[in-house]
Amino acid sequence: MAKYDVIVLGAGAAGLMAAARAGQRGRSVLVVDHADSPGKKILISGGGRCNFTNINTRAETFISANKHFAKSALARYTPRDFLDLVERYDIAWHEKTLGQLFCDGSAKQIVALLMEECRVAGVEFAFGSAAEAVERTDDGFKLMLAGKAHQTSSLIIATGGPSIPKMGASDFAYKLARQFGLKVVEPRPALVPFTLPNADSLFRELSGVATETIATVGKAVFREASLFTHKGLSGPAMLQVSSYWRHGEPVHVNLLPDVTSHDWLIEEKHAAPKTKPVALLTRHLPERLAQALVTKLALPAMLGDCSDKALRQAGEQLAKWPFLPDGTEGFAKAEVTVGGISTAELSSTTMEAKRCPGLYVIGEAVDVTGWLGGYNFQWAWASGVAAGNAA
């Protein structure tokens, strides 16, 4: 029987980081992945340039049933720590916006960095192998791989969440968690486009139109671009609030984030009553969107033909447009998963399961989900290091 100190299930961001760290501590490490090569999500991330961290990382940029859980790991492995690694490998990078750091070149450089860190640490790999059965033994875990038994003292679950199954994502982590009696917080698709009902066909006809917005779901507020799609709404602002959204909730959108007064239409009417509402809105918005909004608001041809009351209502609605999505595009299109293995089951310093010593859970499999913008990789690195230092 093949024996290892540590077996890591999943050669994604978190698994590779944990494996490299454990290997550097002199542990014998095997990484298992059912894919034929490592880091597939890293390769497609950030439009192929990998938004590998965010310098504004803090606990508030993560969603979890326990908002304090991520703090310890994030404090012990910071964006600066990952950036030091990136610079050690001479990978050129830039800050795009809002603290988001990207490779100048390609996400392939990040996968190559992680694989090199593993290589120098003597980590072994088994690609194209799905873990068939995992059993607890007296001194750790027994794992069947392609019909062969493997023994390990520590088992790290890094198989991610079920978002984008066609990239090899699976709910294996949850199955394993349940086998070992660990609770799972209901997984939901997150950072995912919304779908709008057929009745909103006027907006769906705007497919491809984008505009700066402030989007709100409950207490979550994000100022970023929104994009109309043939199915509904996308763009960074919508993806951000989707992580907080529950079925039946409205998404409120301020379509004119730089206009501060609801009475601005009235002021414009008194200044120039012959102004066409479409022409006025086109000063702030793409023309197709302006036209659709004027139709929805049933505004007359000239501002002067509209009462002050109606203009005030229109101003209020433009600042808080209620969209009622009928759903999202689901796990097939979700960048990440909200929910996952409950943090109540894990040590926040080592990611080890409290009721199953030797079992660790890291990355997206855990009920910690970052905002859009490099936060999810920072969690993968930090939780990977936490487990790799302990396993």
Residue list 338-377, contact with ligand FAD (CB under 6 A): 363-365, 374-377
Rounded CA separation 227/286 (Å) = 11
Which of 306, 282, 309 shows the shortest CA–CA distance to 293? Answer: 282
By the rule CB under 6 A, 117 interacts with ligand FAD: no
CA-based Rg of the chain, rounded to a whole angstrom?
24
Total binding residues for ligand FAD by CB under 6 A? 39
Q: Single out the residue of 8, 12, 93, 196 in contact with ligand FAD (rule: CB under 6 A).
A: 12
Cβ-contact 5, 29 below 8 angstroms? yes
Minimum distance, C-beta of residue 172 to ligand FAD, in the bound complex (Å) = 3
By the rule CB under 6 A, 252 interacts with ligand FAD: no
Which of 384, 382, 387 shows the shortest CA–CA distance to 351? Answer: 387
By the rule CB under 6 A, 170 interacts with ligand FAD: yes
The residue among 8 and 311 lying less far from ligand FAD, judged by its C-beta, is 8
Q: Single out the residue of 336, 359, 385, 387 in contact with ligand FAD (rule: CB under 6 A).
A: 336
Pairing status of strand 369-370 against strand 184-190: unpaired
Residue list 23-52, contact with ligand FAD (CB under 6 A): 32-35, 40-41, 44-46, 50-51
By the rule CB under 6 A, 98 interacts with ligand FAD: no
Long-range pairs of 86-94 with CB within 8 A, sequence gap ≥ 24: 86/52, 86/110, 86/113, 89/113, 89/116, 93/52
Long-range pairs of 258-265 with CB within 8 A, sequence gap ≥ 24: 258/212, 258/284, 259/284, 259/315, 259/318, 259/319, 261/315, 262/312, 262/315, 262/316, 262/319, 263/311, 263/312, 263/315, 264/315, 265/303, 265/306, 265/311, 265/312, 265/314, 265/315
Cβ-contact 257, 283 below 8 angstroms? no
DSSP structure class, residue 285: S
Minimum distance, C-beta of residue 175 to ligand FAD, in the bound complex (Å) = 8
For tokens 């969603």, what's the residue? 63
For tokens 């800050």, what's the residue? 95
By the rule CB under 6 A, 160 interacts with ligand FAD: yes
Closest-approach residue to ligand FAD (CB): 12
The residue among 111 and 209 lying less far from ligand FAD, judged by its C-beta, is 111
Minimum distance, C-beta of residue 337 to ligand FAD, in the bound complex (Å) = 8
Cβ-contact 149, 142 below 8 angstroms? yes
By the rule CB under 6 A, 106 interacts with ligand FAD: no
Amino acid found at 347 = S
Minimum distance, C-beta of residue 309 to ligand FAD, in the bound complex (Å) = 46
Q: Single out the residue of 121, 164, 196, 356 in contact with ligand FAD (rule: CB under 6 A).
A: 164
The residue among 39 and 277 lying less far from ligand FAD, judged by its C-beta, is 39
By the rule CB under 6 A, 156 interacts with ligand FAD: no
By the rule CB under 6 A, 15 interacts with ligand FAD: yes
The residue among 314 and 336 lying less far from ligand FAD, judged by its C-beta, is 336
Which phi and psi angles does 309 have, rounded to 5°? -60, -45
Rounded CA separation 58/75 (Å) = 9
By the rule CB under 6 A, 169 interacts with ligand FAD: yes
Minimum distance, C-beta of residue 153 to ligand FAD, in the bound complex (Å) = 20
By the rule CB under 6 A, 172 interacts with ligand FAD: yes
By the rule CB under 6 A, 150 interacts with ligand FAD: no
The residue among 78 and 170 lying less far from ligand FAD, judged by its C-beta, is 170
Which phi and psi angles does 212 have, rounded to 5°? -70, 135
Minimum distance, C-beta of residue 333 to ligand FAD, in the bound complex (Å) = 9
The residue among 345 and 364 lying less far from ligand FAD, judged by its C-beta, is 364
List residues near ligand FAD by CB under 6 A.
9-15, 32-35, 40-41, 44-46, 50-51, 130-131, 158-160, 163-164, 168-170, 172, 335-336, 363-365, 374-377, 380
